[in-house]
Amino acid sequence: MIKSDQILPKHIVTQSEGNIVSDMGNEKVMLNIENGKYYNLGEIGGDIWESISKPTQVNELVNHIVKKYDVQTDK
């Protein structure tokens, strides 16, 4: 895995191990096993989490979000 200060459209992202994710209504919450902290991913964050269940290029993820939520990119 490449560690970088900048995420580029060609980079590949995927879910990291060590998290337990559950549905709570329309949102997802995550428990990080290592630090014991809970995180509320919300509806959109949960959608992103599901979208990266397999390795995905950042540009593909952005395209998915733009289409699904009818937003524009700032180029």
Domains in the chain: boundaries:
12-69
**Residues 7-52: pLDDT tens digits?**
899 999 999 999 999 999 889 999 999 999 999 999 999 999 999 9
pLDDT of residue 2: 59
Burial 27-42 (b: 16+ CB within 10 A, else e): ebbbeeeeeeeeeebe
**Distance (Å, whole) CA 46 – CA 42:** 6
Local structure of residue 16 (DSSP, 8 states)? P
pLDDT of residue 44: 93
Q: pLDDT band for position 73 (50/70/90)?
A: confident
pTM assigned to the model? 0.81
